[in-house]
Chain A
Amino acid sequence: MTIDDLRDYGANVDEGLTRCLNNKDFYIKLVNMAIADNKIEQLEKQINESNFEAAFETAHTIKGMYANLALTPISAPASEITELLRNKVDTDYTELLDRLKTAKRKLDELA
């Protein structure tokens, strides 16, 4: 995985790199840690079980971590889900979850 791959993927690479003190290797290492993370699956499970409180915390965490990495394709839908869950909106999360999973799958493919 290269920085350009991430840029093409839609990451705000400059922002992410700045947070990593412009250390490309460190940035890529953190992105790889995110790829290995399974919180999105956990979120889907919690939503399916209508465990919205736990789901909110998970979504919140996902949003925070991908936002810090400036991986916008994931942090944007994660942010939307977080807001809905915060307000305990009983809606169909399928579409948002699909966007999230698709974006994650695309990221996984870069690994």
Chain B
Amino acid sequence: MQNDIRRTVLIVDDELINREMLGYIVSEDYSVMYAENGKQALDILKNGDKISLVLLDLIMPEMDGFELLDIIHNDDELKRIPVIVLTSEKTAEVKSLQHGAADFIPKPYDMPDVIRARVMRSIELAEDNNIIRATEFDTLTGLYTREFFLEYAREFDEFNPDMSKDLFVININRFHLVNELYGREFGNKILAMIAEHLKAITAEHRGIACRYEADIFYIYSKSQEKCEELLNEHIKMLENDKDGSKISLRIGIYRNVDKNIDIEQRIDRAVSAEKTIHNNYKTAFAFYDTKLHEHEVYSEKLLLELDRAISENQFKVYYQPKYDITNNEPKLCSAEALIRWQHPEYGMISPGVFIPLFEENGCIKRIDSFVWNKVAEQIKKWQGRYSRTIPVSVNVSRIDICDPELESELLSIVKNNEIDISSMFLEITESAYSEDSDMILETVKRLRDDGFKVEMDDFGSGYSSLNMLTEMPIDVLKLDMKFIRNICTNEKDRRMMELMIDIADFLNVPVVAEGVEHKEQYELLKKSGCDIIQGYYFSKPVPLEEFDKIVEKELM
């Protein structure tokens, strides 16, 4: 037996001697209960005693064996209990199986060992089956669970190798809000409702569906010429429903799946299509197509090449000068380090392309680390060459902040290069603060206690509350480029800029404006009290050699 639980077998026979004899045979392995007829047996079964198997005689007074078999077979609870029929009639054997019996034992009884083996086998089969049933379906929706979906999808392929198939991933927009606004019970009702539509689709068009997790569903089905129409039909039904109209879906579709990739990769493709339409207000479809495919291949390639790119020095640190404008003449005061990727095949890759990619899969730390080390080395070199400290700002990604090693790594970089801790400014984007503010605040506080200067980057783009700002441990506010772009033409942006400078004043920290391109912008910022300027007006980000020239020209 699979485990040591002592199970109970119910013997139902009107003849005392048969009951005694059979009970004696099985009592070595099981606890035994007895009933003289179907009625008594049913009482025991319904009474809540956990019965693992019923041994059932057919011909009995009151309620005979077939009648009881039918009742058991049609009862949702009882039908999980296997029944072995005891019979001396050859013809009754088939009939018993048709009525749902698991097995039969002929009378007069077989060898006891045979009986015991058959009882054990039937219990094992039923229990395994019940366990499988319990994990096969999602209890809320009755759809397959993820594991079974994957398994059945492979089977679906195996049995229909030539059929072309589509994969859909269906997601509810802002489902957590639906739960929050209308309650979890409502959310569950919506999930069940969607599941019913998916069942209808797969029943009609051949296929399988599952609830992958929370509010994510998959369908794998025979390719439909008009799959969009079909989905629209069901979506319309949802929208016409009082409850269904409160939600919207986003659906990623991978049509005519590539049979050479495995099911999980096919799912990934549908998911990447779905991601392109994140949080549309209306239900929307997105298809996985060659463009998306090429983009994915490109991204994947970049990810794979990261190691080589670092070791082959494909990454370059560029420096963009920052000018202090608080005096009459603007004066070079520091720089921001910016990463560039000089790819042997693709040429210069914009950080706008690869930074989000590396942020997404956690590789950003290695790039940031690379920059920190390069910059610290450079600050040290400048000290030797020019006998002065030129501070440089480096980016610390929100992902780095979650790394418990961050502080010790930065400290050892500073120490190994023997530079002043306050010469490497750390730029942390404002939106990072609002994500997990407690942790960020604590990390930033520790870094500042160590002596680092911390700049809040992209200020104005996030959602810092005024209350939070006053508590924020920062040394510099860096205005979001977006506001600077239009300060000369857009009254609102100008006022916004002034307001942010006021906030910096209130916090008693200097303000940096980046993205400054024109003289007018520069003059307006200067007039408004901005302290430091970075932008094409003075210089674009330049390679080290060029930056050296600027330093020599401006500071020597």
Contact = CB atoms under 8 A, between A and B. Distances in A.
Interface of A: 15, 18-21, 23, 26, 30, 33-34, 37, 57, 60-61, 63-65, 67-70, 75
7 contacts: A30-B17, A65-B15, A65-B17, A65-B18, A68-B21, A69-B17, A69-B21
B15 A61 contact: yes
B450 interface: no
Given A18-B111, A19-B109, A64-B108, A26 B24 contact: yes
Interface string B17-50: 1101100110010000000000000000000000
A39 to B, nearest CB: 9
A48 B16 CA distance: 25
A16 B43 CA distance: 32
Nearest to B115: A19
By secondary structure, the B interface counts as loop
> What 6 A-B pairs are tightest by C-beta distance, nearest first?
A67-B108, A68-B108, A65-B17, A65-B15, A64-B107, A61-B15
B15 A67 contact: no
B362 interface: no
Contacts of A75: 108
A109 B21 CA distance: 23
- Counting chain B residues whose Cβ lies within 8 A of the other chain, the interface size class is 10 to 19
Contacts of A67: 88, 107-108
Given A63-B88, A64-B107, A67-B88, A18 B18 contact: no
Contact of B21 (A30, A37, A60, A63): A30
Contacts, number: 54
A17 B376 CA distance: 93
Interface centre among B16, B21, B24 (most CB of A within 10 A): B21
Contacts of B338: none
A15 B14 CA distance: 22
A64 B25 contact: no
A67 B15 CA distance: 12
B59 A70 contact: no
A106 B28 CA distance: 34
Interface in B347-367: none
Contacts of A26: 24
Contacts of A70: 108
B550 to A, nearest CB: 101
A19 B17 contact: no
A86 B193 CA distance: 55
Nearest to B57: A64
A47 B241 CA distance: 69
B16 A33 contact: yes
A15 B16 CA distance: 19
A59 to B, nearest CB: 11
**Among the interface residues A30, A61, A64, which one has the most CB atoms of the partner chain B within 10 A?**
A64
Interface in B164-218: none
Contacts of B18: 64-65, 68
B112 interface: yes
Contact of B24 (A15, A20, A33, A60): A20
Interface in B47-103: 59, 61, 88
A21 B14 contact: no
Nearest to B64: A57
A21 B17 contact: no
Given A33-B20, A67-B107, A68-B107, A19 B15 contact: no
Given A61-B15, A64-B88, A19 B59 contact: no
Given A60-B59, A61-B59, A63-B88, A68 B17 contact: yes
A108 to B, nearest CB: 16
Contacts of B14: 61
A36 B248 CA distance: 77
A63 B15 CA distance: 11
Contacts of B107: 64, 67-68
A68 B20 CA distance: 11
A18 B112 contact: yes
A69 B17 CA distance: 9
A74 to B, nearest CB: 12
Given A60-B59, A63-B88, A64-B18, 7 more contacts: A18-B112, A19-B109, A30-B17, A57-B59, A68-B17, A68-B18, A68-B109
A27 to B, nearest CB: 9
Contacts of A23: 24
Interface string B105-148: 00111011000000000000000000000000000000000000
Nearest to A57: B59
B8 to A, nearest CB: 20
A23 B25 CA distance: 11
A30 B15 contact: no
Contacts of B111: 18
Interface in B288-338: none
A98 B111 CA distance: 32
A66 to B, nearest CB: 9
Contacts of B16: 33, 37
Given A64-B108, A65-B15, A68-B107, A19 B25 contact: yes
Given A33-B16, A61-B14, A64-B107, A20 B88 contact: no
Contacts of B88: 60, 63-64, 67
Contacts of B25: 19, 21
